[in-house]
Amino acid sequence: MVSNTLQSTKEQVEISCKSCGSKLLLSAHQLSTVCPYCGSPSVISRPPSEDIPSPTFVIGFQIDRERASELARAWLRRGNWLAPTSFKKALPNLIQGIYLPVYLYGTTAHSRYFAKIGENYTETETYTTRDANGKTVTRTRTVTKTEYRSLQGQHATYVMDVIVSASKGVSNAKFQEIEPYDLRAIRRFQPSMIAGWTAEEPSRSQAECFGLARQETHELIQRKLREFMPGDSHRDLQFDTQFSREFIDFALLPVWCFAVRYSEDKPPIQILVNGQTGRVAGKAPVSAAKIGSLVVGVLIFFVVIALFAVLMGQG
């Protein structure tokens, strides 16, 4: 394949369509485009630089455009009963199907932990109470008590499949809501996989993504350690984790992006659909009117109950 020189600036790249020769402007982070004149898909391959590696893996779209729109509409209609009616009736506006840049992170995590482990035991205790005739009597009962013992030890585990968003357009917290992806469908990156689709380069630095991945891993280790603790209960879990043999791979994962504009004066709401599994996530707005009527409804309910109780008491 003939390589053309590209006129690159920091913000935009100009390429000429190999099919019809028209000039196309792409934003610097875009990896592929479709020529608006002749419909030819173009893929741009750049040599990996220190901060922007070339993709290692890609997962292909499995949810097509129609299915994604259906899923987004269905999500709007149900499950957000506190959202304004205008939001639920709004038509999601498809922005695009995009190959989102992410980092796949893995490591070996060695942790030292300290915790107080609760071990239950039962004791028979005596107590005094009044019987039916009003006399003071002494009785016994069995109570469960907990004895806390300190425990410290080491924990080692592999951590894999931690995925963090490398795009500034989609925050990592938002991306977590449409996870998981089935990584068994992963493929080694080939330009033909993104032909005809929009793909981005990472707009977050690798260092920043490393930080996000370590943070996610830290939370994962905490969950694992909680399950790892013996005893009937535990408290004061503290741990210190060392990551060794960390690895991070740049991958492209399929996401459908929608925007919902439900009111003239409100910013549009972003809805994401997992392009592999169809999982939908977005932050539905809350209607002040609906919350207000709910609160009033609950208050009225309690007032009625109270009135009823008072009336019964008098009767």
- Whether the CB-CB separation of 295 and 286 falls below 8 Å is answered with no
* Residue 230 is a binding residue for another protein (CB under 8 A): yes
Distances (CA, A) of 257 to 96, 97, 179, 199, 270: 6, 6, 15, 13, 7
| 61 vs 187: CA distance, rounded Å | 12
Question: Roughly how many angstroms between the first and final C-alpha of the chain, as a whole number?
Answer: 94
Stretch 10-49 residues interacting with another protein (CB under 8 A): 15, 17-19, 34, 39-48
* Residue 275 is a binding residue for another protein (CB under 8 A): yes
* Residue 51 is a binding residue for another protein (CB under 8 A): no
User: In 10 A of CB 258, how many CB atoms?
Assistant: 25
Stretch 276-315 residues interacting with another protein (CB under 8 A): none
Least Å from the CB of residue 50 to another protein:
15
52-90 exposure pattern, b = at least 16 Cβ within 10 A, e = fewer: beebebbbbbebeeeebbebbeebbeeebeebbeebbeb
Stretch 80-119 residues interacting with another protein (CB under 8 A): 97, 106, 108, 117, 119
Stretch 167-226 residues interacting with another protein (CB under 8 A): 183-188, 190-197, 224
- Whether the CB-CB separation of 248 and 214 falls below 8 Å is answered with no
Least Å from the CB of residue 78 to another protein:
25
- Whether the CB-CB separation of 70 and 78 falls below 8 Å is answered with no
Least Å from the CB of residue 200 to another protein:
15
Contacting another protein (CB under 8 A), which of 89, 139, 141, 149?
A: 149
Stretch 153-172 residues interacting with another protein (CB under 8 A): 153-158, 160-161
Stretch 241-260 residues interacting with another protein (CB under 8 A): 245, 247, 249
Using CB under 8 A, which of the segments 57-65, 70-78, 289-297, 301-309 binds another protein?
57-65
Question: Which CB, 219 or 294, lies closer to another protein?
Answer: 219
